[in-house]
Amino acid sequence: MYAGKCDRLCRNRNYRYFGLQHSKECWCGNSYGKYGARQSSECRMRCSGNRGSYCGSSWRNSIYATTKPRASTRLPLSKCSQHSVDFNGKCSRAIDGDTNQNYRKKSCTHTRTATGAWWQARTSRRARITSVRIYNRQDCCANRLRNFVIKVDGQVCASYHSSSAFSVKTFRCNAVGRTVRIETRNRVPLTLCEVKVYGRYAEVSTARLPLSKCSQHSVDFNGKCSRAIDGDTNQNYRKKSCTHTRTATGAWWQARTSRRARITSVRIYNRQDCCANRLRNFVIKVDGQVCASYHSSSAFSVKTFRCNAVGRTVRIETRNRVPLTLCEVKVYGRYAEVSTARLPLSKCSQNSVDFNGKCSRAIDGDTNQNYRKKSCTHTRTATGAWWQARTSRRARITSVRIYNRQDCCANRLRNFVIKVDGQVCASYHSSSAFSVKTFRCNAVGRTVRIETRNRVPLTLCEVKVYGRYAEVSTEFLGCYPDDPEFPDFIVAKVSALMTVWKCNKICKAKKFSYFGVKNGQICGCGNEYGNSGDTVKANCNVACGGNPDEKCGGSTNNSVFEVK
């Protein structure tokens, strides 16, 4: 028995809570605490199915709330604002639940006429926004809403530009943030009768991060540093489970994670057979920066400190003159994402060629900004003149750097958009020209396109794209253990040529929300996951049979993705 299995059993029976007792017993219910609460130290029996966690004890329950499947739901919006108010069309009308599309029913917003008129509202907390549904005015003027963008925390996630108006339309918007903004790109009043946002609140799964390469200020009574990371949480020094330094102001202990990580919390087990009050004034540092501190007149037994920092070296350092003794230190968080790098571009094309300014000049590595040095592209004069090139495979584009012509005509490049696979990810409109500028562009795709919005020739002296190659065209959600008794996914296909994309297509056809690939060749589909907890990504390192560049889980772990 373990928490994930009991959670699933009780959730399937529609209970709100579950309790783990005596290492192997699972109990379900809709209330708890009838006989009061006990100390957490009384629930220290190891789970029979997972020795790394606790399952109560004799006549003691470890209580948990049952979880819900990860799915997109409507996210309430509040704290709205807008560009301006006209005809009493205040911003709150778009989030009042009234979807009537007749303005005279006082259900729609209205701004003054302007280019870039906007409306925005916020979710209660940071969320992954998957889609935005807009209810357009229908009693008149629907065609005003034909050219606009949707932004999440300032980044464009969807756009609309059409000759035809719509009544109700849902826009796919895969972005993470809180503030959802709708902004026009033509000179019109902005009117919205209702805006509904769908997604799920961002949940960053954290796991225990193994520590190694420890050191400390000094060693006394044979209390070497490794005792704090040996897995033994016994808090009696005589059991040889705790560290010990000499008496000093600023005595310290430290250890490292295997690689750079976001540290979310640090749990410290203090000595209990004596001297617990020594550990009452100290700081916790990550790579030299203080992320948590403790100063109290009372001692603790086991305490978890929130510590939101990025780094590798976790250090605990006293601020008074005492020996430092630690019986165990556990660090939780997640490994930091892979840093971005420059992505080579090829297969370029452009709207037209003038003065021999062929498209390849922008990706030849020559950043000379003098056209006469044959290092810049040049199209004919046109509205919407464009240039584009492709990455070698699908990637998450994080930024695009543009080198503008400087020997003349730099002001031509003052009004344009950057697109990835046809979707706008960045734009520039200014009265001043630039020499070299980097544009943030958080989008996934292959084709990067730069397109003017005014009637000019397009000239680019170099374009550099930064990001990282996407593991798959769908969203990787993590590495999760698979329980043979209560599997997350139904096996849909076993193939020696399995790939992530192939499994995505199989599960999409079967109308499932998620899929998992395991052991390089097994594809499973389902509508929920994580019933057996999660594990580090390194445990899903088996290459896919049909594409060695992709990872398809592990021998007993699923690489889990959202169906796209």
Domain limits, the chain: 3-65, 73-201, 207-335, 341-469, 476-562
pLDDT tens for the chain, 564 residues long, are 788 788 888 887 878 888 888 888 898 988 877 777 777 778 888 888 776 677 888 888 888 887 654 456 889 999 999 999 999 999 999 999 999 999 999 999 999 999 999 999 999 888 889 899 999 999 999 999 999 999 998 889 999 999 999 999 999 988 888 899 999 999 999 999 999 999 988 655 567 899 999 999 999 999 999 999 999 999 999 999 999 999 999 999 999 998 888 898 999 999 999 999 999 999 999 988 899 999 999 899 999 998 888 888 999 999 999 999 999 999 998 886 555 678 999 999 999 999 999 999 999 999 999 999 999 999 999 999 999 999 988 888 989 999 999 999 999 999 999 999 999 999 999 988 899 999 988 888 899 999 999 999 999 999 999 988 764 456 678 888 888 777 889 999 999 888 888 898 899 898 888 899 999 999 999 887 777 777 888 889 898 888 777 889 998 899 998 887
Write down how long the chain is.
564
- CATH code, 73-201: 2.60.120.260
Phi, psi of 282 (to 5 degrees): -160, 170
Sign of CA dihedral 243, 248, 250, 256: negative
Question: 207-335 falls under which CATH superfamily?
Answer: Galactose-binding domain-like (2.60.120.260)
Domain 341-469 CATH (choose: 3.30.1330.90, 2.60.120.260, 3.40.50.10440, 3.90.79.10): 2.60.120.260
Closest CA to 6 of 49, 51, 59, 52: 49
Using a cut of 0.75, tell me whether the model's pTM lies above it. no
| Maximum CA extent, the chain | 86
Is 341-469 in the same CATH topology as 73-201? yes
**What is the DSSP annotation of 154-171?**
TEEEEEEE-SS--SEEEE
Angle at 28 between CA 27 and CA 30, to 5 degrees: 140
Token pair listed for 549 = 């560049």
